[in-house]
Structure 1
Amino acid sequence: MGLALTGALAGALAAAQVRAAEQFIPMLSYRVGPYAPGGSGFFGGYIDYLDMINKRDGGVNGVKLTWEECETEYKNDRGVECYERLKGKGPTGGTVFTPLSTGITYSLIERATTDKIPVISMGYGRTDASDGRIFPYIFPLVTNYWSQNTAKIKFIGMREGGMDKLKGKKIVNLYHGSAYGKETIPVLDLQAKKYGFEVKHIEVPHPGNEQQSQWLEIRRYKPDWVILRGWGVMNPTALKTAQKVGFPADRIVGVWWSGAEEDVIPAGDAAKGFISAAFHPSGRDFPVIQDILKYVYGSGSRGNMTDQSRIGQQYYNRGVIQGILTVEAIRTAQEKFGKGKSLTPEQVRWGIENLNIDEKRIRQLGAFGLLQPLKVSCFDHEGGGAVKFQQWDGERWKVISDWIASDQSIVRPMIEESAAKYAKEKGIKPREGISLGSDCGHYSENLKKIVSGG
């Protein structure tokens, strides 16, 4: 009887531990200041998705998802403070960080690598971190900035009647004065040489609510196209100022951080015709969004968005995609390390690096048309790379292109060379063969020479 009782108690304790298992997800959010629209929309969608998984599914194989926000104000030093505050919380520590800031991502690379905690910088961050052999803990998933810019030049070439028609054209790169804004200068310079167009880089100081001198310079330069690499208040200011100097909105192509409803609605008529890159659409018709409305906001419940009219907009849907990728990484890791238990950040890192979300799985997730297929590996921490383009008609975004693939003949050599130089500077030995549970392939002899100082 004693043995039976002991066994029963042990079984009950084990069952309680399974029921009590949780996965802690830290949130480096920002909901105040000039970039609050982007931060509040993104993290609202992210949190609502995690909340829906708990309420609809009981968590991930019985493991409840928990989270805590820390306000960074989109400032690098605050981002580091929040990282240090949250990284040790939860039963196994911070599962994965999503800074929603290229500057904060740069600031966390060495810390997160030392702490063995993954960082997802979906559609932003340091582009050469796409080479996971050098950056094992950093994941610029879905599509990186250099990929986007090659697709953007392809799109402009299509509008001009062919890539050969780019020769002699003038393009202005109007960029936010930050690490984010400067990230694409090298790839644009390279493309200018390849296709024969001129590129002029014009910086807009943070936060970007005064641009009169920049647009007067643009008017004097008379470019054929302007690439708007803005963020937050810089975007509607750019569109309104462009209208004042007579530059047409349909000759301005924005990055996806310039292409949300919050970027165009404040600009009024000045935004009509504006084009932006996108790696997902707006809209509420996706089954996954409908499930959020049902399980998180149904029956008078309150989700994370106080303004529910923003549900289904660009930043919100981007947060939902972040939620999908995070949960699918946890699910993938559980398949290897065990269901029903809290995973370590290192185990979740393996889950991210082994993500394989095909069209069938996207349909099962209720996200068909919202998320492109994604296959991540040690070699490739981007996993996707395709871009669509959308145009604002004064009321809503309309998709005006099919998926446009990035030009990896330009992007991948730049990534590998830049990553190899970083490895040489930091004394990092590239992962090769089987490393951290992933097949990393082999580094080329040329890049080995860069790493070794040859």
Structure 2
Amino acid sequence: MNLKKTVILGAAVAGLLGSSMAIAAEQFIGLPSYRVGPYAAGGSGIYGGWIDYMQMINERDGGINGVKLAWEECETEYNNARGVECYERLKEKGETGNSVFQPLSTGITYSVLDKVAKDKIPLVTMGYGRTDAADGRVFPYVFPLITTYWSQATTMVKYIAGKEGGTDKLKGKKIALLYHDSAYGKESHAVLEKMAERYGYELTKLAVAHPGNEQQSQWLQIRQLRPDWVILWGWGVMNPTALKSAAKTGFSREKMVGVWWSGAEEDTVPAGSAAKGFTAAGYNVAGADYPVIKDIEKFVYAKGHGNMEDKSRIGSVYYNRGVVHGLITVEAIRKAQEKYGKGKALTGEQVRWGFENLDMDDKRLGELGATGFLPPLKTSCMDHEGSGKVKYQQWDGNKWNVVTDWIDADKEMVRGMIEESAAAYAKEKGITPRDCSKEM
């Protein structure tokens, strides 16, 4: 081979390498997971489903418009200090830094709330966290997506009212709120108190200390109070303990309604027969027959790449919730690529725009193989929640069965509370709210 041919061949190889590098962009997603500690069942299920969905996107689609997804887990143990450490460790990873931070912890959410706007990393708190962050004018980088604790609380009252024969039948009823004594557990208080004033029911709040396996005094109070309904706002071991305690006390589980962190198989199976008849809220449903789950089995597990050691958890409430996390995150990145360019890794600031402009209607959910799996979702500068819809599932002793359609939150009441609280936060922090008319 002469020198001229060598130079040409070298240039061709360099061009191929350059082309390969150009199309090998990776979108980095930091995962502040918890697979150990008292809440490991929730963390392992949700992050497992999320990782499986991202793996499926890489295997089936080659990524998002050619951009492969990359991720790294950081163990938080559901501990606030560790969560902040993970945030700092992950924020500059990857080609363009971390795309999104989703800690699955209200406590960690509060701990990094002031950091995300400075670092321009979207903080997604799907179904948890600070509800007033739904006001995107004050919290441009925070997204309590699908439905918030306040919205969920209003649907709980609607569900109970439906069982009682209407909201007018709530007057004089007694509702006990058995809640996890944490920032998460206290999120529902303002809404349930406000609705108690409106509908005339008597609300009794009973705190349960972390981790929740000591509830004797609370159930003694419930026995004495004789409430018509118990709302279980629990987490982890607190949930099966509450269901077993209800059975021992003689309180009907059909008169118990759980928050979505009390409504998974990990909450009911350990309670055995004591869980039968218990109903819980959800912004996703259980089941492995949805096309999106079938694709994960086909493109991930059939190739030996699945994240779940226990494959029986595929299709469970927590696993499917993780799939929802993955699905919405991917859709936000896909949406952001429409604005900032397909085929390249995006910054957290650019991905933030994608989260703020989601439009997942029934048609799009059908294309994603997720009809009925989660509610339609449409976000905006003003509204970082985007839905507010909740379904209820009941445990029959073996599995969860959907017993309602999507129930709409009392958006008018909740939105007023959101704007009032967000305005107070803005004043306290010296934040000038965005003008959403300029964000169109």
Instruction: Bin the TM-score by the shorter chain.
Output: over 0.9
Instruction: Tell me by how many angstroms 1:106 deviates.
Output: 1.0
Tell me: CA distance 1:94–1:42, structure 2 relative to 1, closer, same or farther (3 Å): same
Three-state SS of the structure 2 residue aligned to 1:79 is: helix
Does the 8 Å CA contact 1:18/1:62 hold for their aligned counterparts? no
Which amino acid in structure 1 is aligned with residue 350 of structure 2? Q
Corresponding residue number in structure 2 for 1:423: 426
**Distance (Å, rounded) in 1 between the aligned partners of 2:240 and 2:160:** 22
Question: Within 5 A, what are the aligned runs for 1:110-259?
Answer: 110-259=114-263
**Distance (Å, rounded) in 2 between the aligned partners of 1:353 and 1:264:** 35
**Distance (Å, rounded) in 1 between the aligned partners of 2:45 and 2:106:** 17
Which amino acid in structure 2 is aligned with residue 102 of structure 1? T
Instruction: Tell me by how many angstroms 1:15 deviates.
Output: 1.7
Three-state SS of the structure 2 residue aligned to 1:317 is: helix
Corresponding residue number in structure 1 for 2:76: 72
Deviates more, 1:376-385 or 1:426-435: 426-435
Which amino acid in structure 2 is aligned with residue 222 of structure 1? R
Corresponding residue number in structure 1 for 2:340: 337
Render the CA deviation track for 1:193-213: whole Å, top value 9, x for unaligned.
Answer: 000111011100000011011
Corresponding residue number in structure 1 for 2:103: 99
Structure 1: state its 5+ residue gaps: 440-454
Matched, 1:412 2:415: yes
Three-state SS of the structure 1 residue aligned to 2:393 is: strand
Which amino acid in structure 2 is aligned with residue 77 of structure 1? A
Does the 8 Å CA contact 1:18/1:63 hold for their aligned counterparts? no
Render the CA deviation track for 1:70-121: whole Å, top value 9, x for unaligned.
Answer: 1101111110011011111001111001101111111111011111100111
Corresponding residue number in structure 1 for 2:290: 286
Matched, 1:89 2:93: yes
Instruction: Tell me by how many angstroms 1:278 deviates.
Output: 1.3
Three-state SS of the structure 1 residue aligned to 2:32 is: strand
Does the 8 Å CA contact 2:137/2:436 hold for their aligned counterparts? no
Which amino acid in structure 2 is aligned with residue 195 of structure 1? Y
Does the 8 Å CA contact 1:236/1:264 hold for their aligned counterparts? yes
Question: Within 5 A, what are the aligned runs for 1:9-48?
Answer: 12=16, 14-48=18-52
Which amino acid in structure 2 is aligned with residue 80 of structure 1? V
Give TM-score, length-normalised by structure 2.
Answer: 0.96
Instruction: Tell me by how many angstroms 1:8 deviates.
Output: 5.8
Three-state SS of the structure 2 residue aligned to 1:390 is: strand
Instruction: Tell me by how many angstroms 1:65 deviates.
Output: 0.4
Instruction: Tell me by how many angstroms 1:273 deviates.
Output: 0.4
Structure 2: state its 5+ residue gaps: none
Which amino acid in structure 1 is aligned with residue 403 of structure 2? I
Three-state SS of the structure 2 residue aligned to 1:113 is: helix
Three-state SS of the structure 1 residue aligned to 2:257 is: strand
Render the CA deviation track for 1:150-203: whole Å, top value 9, x for unaligned.
Answer: 111011001001100000111011100111000110111100000011101110
Three-state SS of the structure 2 residue aligned to 1:209 is: coil
Matched, 1:391 2:394: yes
Does the 8 Å CA contact 2:357/2:379 hold for their aligned counterparts? yes
Render the CA deviation track for 1:345-378: whole Å, top value 9, x for unaligned.
Answer: 0000001101101111111111111021110001
**Distance (Å, rounded) in 1 between the aligned partners of 2:8 and 2:386:** 52
**Distance (Å, rounded) in 2 between the aligned partners of 1:419 and 1:8:** 58
Instruction: Tell me by how many angstroms 1:433 deviates.
Output: 3.8
**Distance (Å, rounded) in 2 between the aligned partners of 1:173 and 1:257:** 14
**Distance (Å, rounded) in 1 between the aligned partners of 2:283 and 2:29:** 24
Render the CA deviation track for 1:382-440: whole Å, top value 9, x for unaligned.
Answer: 001111111101011111111110001210000000000000000000000455xx33x
Which amino acid in structure 2 is aligned with residue 182 of structure 1? K
**Distance (Å, rounded) in 2 between the aligned partners of 1:434 and 1:63:** 32
Does the 8 Å CA contact 2:375/2:406 hold for their aligned counterparts? no
Which amino acid in structure 2 is aligned with residue 39 of structure 1? G
Which amino acid in structure 2 is aligned with residue 361 of structure 1? R
Give TM-score, length-normalised by structure 1.
Answer: 0.94
Does the 8 Å CA contact 1:72/1:82 hold for their aligned counterparts? yes
Instruction: Tell me by how many angstroms 1:34 deviates.
Output: 1.1
Which amino acid in structure 1 is aligned with residue 210 of structure 2? H
Three-state SS of the structure 2 residue aligned to 1:329 is: helix
Which amino acid in structure 2 is aligned with residue 368 of structure 1? T
Matched, 1:308 2:293: no
Three-state SS of the structure 2 residue aligned to 1:288 is: helix
**Distance (Å, rounded) in 2 between the aligned partners of 1:166 and 1:389:** 19
Give the aligned length: 436
**Distance (Å, rounded) in 2 between the aligned partners of 1:135 and 1:227:** 30
Instruction: Tell me by how many angstroms 1:13 deviates.
Output: 5.2
Does the 8 Å CA contact 1:249/1:272 hold for their aligned counterparts? yes
Three-state SS of the structure 1 residue aligned to 2:398 is: coil
**Distance (Å, rounded) in 2 between the aligned partners of 1:358 and 1:433:** 22
Three-state SS of the structure 1 residue aligned to 2:344 is: coil
**Distance (Å, rounded) in 2 between the aligned partners of 1:120 and 1:223:** 36
Which amino acid in structure 2 is aligned with residue 168 of structure 1? G
**Distance (Å, rounded) in 2 between the aligned partners of 1:13 and 1:313:** 43
Three-state SS of the structure 2 residue aligned to 1:312 is: coil
Match of 2:301 among 297, 302, 305: 297
**Distance (Å, rounded) in 1 between the aligned partners of 2:305 and 2:96:** 29
Instruction: Tell me by how many angstroms 1:260 deviates.
Output: 0.4
**Distance (Å, rounded) in 2 between the aligned partners of 1:424 and 1:242:** 44
**Distance (Å, rounded) in 1 between the aligned partners of 2:69 and 2:81:** 27
**Distance (Å, rounded) in 2 between the aligned partners of 1:153 and 1:48:** 35
Match of 1:362 among 362, 365, 378: 365
